Amino acid sequence: MDRRLQHQQQNRGTEFHGRVALVTGAAQGMGFAMACRLAAAGARVAMNDSNATALAAAVADLRQQGADALAIPADVTIETEVRRMFATVLEQFGALDILINNAGVLRPTRCEQIATQEWDLVLDTNLKGTFLCCREAIPLLRRSEAGRIVNLSSTAGKSVSTIGGAHYTAAKAGVLGLTRHLAKELGHERITVNAVCPGLIDTEMVRGTIAAASIAAYASSFPLQRLGEPAEIAELVAFLASDRAAYITGASLDINGGDLTI
């Protein structure tokens, strides 16, 4: 094995030592897996979610595993709550190095049936929430030696959503545009901004939207013949958040079992 690679692997356990990360939508699913992955490599992790009860349980779970984790219940679509969340991160941890914009909602509604309120919910959570968090994070990331933003888009953002509606596809495409634009604006400050585009991943978002039989049918249609696991997405996010990805910015990385190959 390449010596440098060997060294990196041995050090994975402390890769984020001294770094502070904020993960939104971290009470369950991929957000929880990301918080676990970053904490396992030494990060102090601020975990956000709008579901305060589920968040408290998730943070307690991580703390029990020895992580330095902090619960910040907040709705990422509400400007005042987002401001307060970043103020809390600064107050409790004194800095921010990594922002993971993971909070999201999906609705499977066909376009003609989408109520304006539902359109707003999907766009606000996936896109506006990402913008609000980026805006508050920028002044803090500027002070970091290696500021990182990782946004959760989807195969929906590059093509068309498998199980979500037009609002979900539009929101996730918007996340990709925001990612590219911020990468250009912030590169000179050594802040990288990237997106990940997962395919169908085994979480509540999917299990709560389609029946088990449909999930199995989708899974068998993918080249890798299964859904992705939250921990697999967390691994890619951790890579993008690390020093190993210092020259990657404005990118959108596919992780979809071969479902979408472009």
- Residue 31 in contact with ligand NAD, rule: CB under 6 A: yes
Report whether 252 contacts 153 (CB < 8 A): yes
Taking the least distance from each CB to ligand NAD, the nearer of 21 and 103 is 103
Does the protein bind ligand NAD through residue 209 (CB under 6 A)? no
How many residues of this chain interact with ligand NAD, rule: CB under 6 A? 31
Q: What are phi and psi of 148, to 5 degrees?
A: -135, 135
Burial-class residue 198 by CB neighbours within 10 Å (0-12, 13-18, 19+).
buried
The single residue listed with the structure tokens 């991929």 is: 30
247 catalytic residue (yes or no): no
Q: Which is nearer to ligand NAD, 75 or 97 (CB)?
A: 75
Exposure string (b/e) for 162-172, b if CB count within 10 Å is 16 or more?
bbbbbbbbbbb
CA 206 remoteness from chain centre: 16
Annotate each residue in 95-134 with x if it binds ligand NAD (CB under 6 A) or - if it does not, as one string: -------xxxxx------------------xx--x-----
Assess 28 for contact with ligand NAD (CB under 6 A): yes
If one asks whether residue 165 binds ligand NAD (CB under 6 A), the answer comes out as no
Helix/strand/coil for 248: coil
Binding site for ligand NAD (CB under 6 A): 24-25, 27-31, 48-51, 75-77, 102-106, 125-126, 129, 152, 154, 198, 200-201, 203-206
Task: Report the catalytic residues.
Answer: 168
